[in-house]
Amino acid sequence: QQQVKQSPQSLIVQKGGISIINCAYENTAFDYFPWYQQFPGKGPALLIAIRPDVSEKKEGRFTISFNKSAKQFSLHIMDSQPGDSATYFCAAAGGKDSSYKLIFGSGTRLLVRP
């Protein structure tokens, strides 16, 4: 049973556009929601993360929106650039000392066209 569902599977956006990736979770014990970026041949790297005490977190062009009642969170990439082309994974974890026991979504392959 997939605990973190991610959509869409792939996304094509024009340069300068907004990229939106959505995730939904089931386990209400989750309290840490990171997004990872992965380039081909590389390991995932933390992009931005949020905890449920806030509904939004912004870092540069990247924003996480969090809806606790709906058990959903999303990544928005503003002014998308070709260099943002990568695979993006949402993840979730919860409980004492378990921010490292990440449950990942299936990933979204983003292509930003110049």
Partner 1 sequence: NAGVTQTPKFQVLKTGQSMTLQCAQDMNHEYMSWYRQDPGMGLRLIHYSVGAGITDQGEVPNGYNVSRSTTEDFPLRLLSAAPSQTSVYFCASGRSGNTIYFGEGSWLTVV
The residue ranges that bind partner 1 (CB under 8 A) are 4, 6, 9, 41-46, 49, 89, 97, 99-107
Q: Report in angstroms how near the CB of residue 66 gets to partner 1 at its nearest.
A: 18
Rounded (10°) CA dihedral 103, 106, 111, 112 = -40
- Cβ proximity to partner 1, 3 vs 14, nearer residue: 3
Q: How many of the other CB atoms lie within 10 Å of CB of 98?
A: 13
- Cβ proximity to partner 1, 18 vs 45, nearer residue: 45
Q: Is 19 helix (H, G, I), strand (E, B) or coil?
A: strand
The Cα 111–Cα 85 span in angstroms is 5
Q: Report in angstroms how near the CB of residue 89 gets to partner 1 at its nearest.
A: 6
Q: Is 4 helix (H, G, I), strand (E, B) or coil?
A: strand
Q: Report in angstroms how near the CB of residue 107 gets to partner 1 at its nearest.
A: 5
Q: Which of 28, 12, 26 is nearest to 77 (CA)?
A: 12
- Cβ proximity to partner 1, 16 vs 95, nearer residue: 95
- Cβ proximity to partner 1, 17 vs 99, nearer residue: 99
